[in-house]
């Protein structure tokens, strides 16, 4: 069950993300109002990055690709 929660947390982070221009590139960013345990797992898996003190996180390229795969898995279209 924990794996599904982590998957759905990543999927929600992706689906609710917005683009932030950091000068060099534009990164997807999302507010992190999700369980800290899942956010920590996603950070350890290198799907998201960000300070533990920040209220939002950046999705990595791997995180975006994984989220797109999860959209296929759960039959979600945007």
SS (H, E, C) the chain: CHHHHHHHHHHHHHHCCEEEECCCCEEEEEECCCCHHHHHHHHHCCCEECCCCCCEEEECHHHHHHHHHHHHHCCCCC
pTM of the model: 0.88
Beta-bridge partners for 20: 27
H or E element that contains 31? strand 26-31
Q: Tell me, what's the pLDDT at 20?
A: 81
Confidence band (pLDDT; 50, 70, 90) for 71?
Answer: very high
Return the domain boundaries, the chain.
Answer: 1-27
């Amino acid at each position: 069950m924990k794996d599904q929660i982590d998957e759905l947390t990543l999927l929600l982070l992706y689906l609710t993300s917005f683009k932030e221009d950091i000068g060099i590139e534009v990164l997807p960013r999302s507010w992190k109002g999700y369980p800290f345990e899942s956010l920590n797992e996603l950070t350890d898996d290198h799907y998201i990055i960000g300070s533990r003190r920040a209220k939002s996180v950046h999705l990595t390229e791997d995180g975006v690709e994984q989220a797109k795969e999860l959209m296929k898995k759960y039959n979600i279209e945007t």
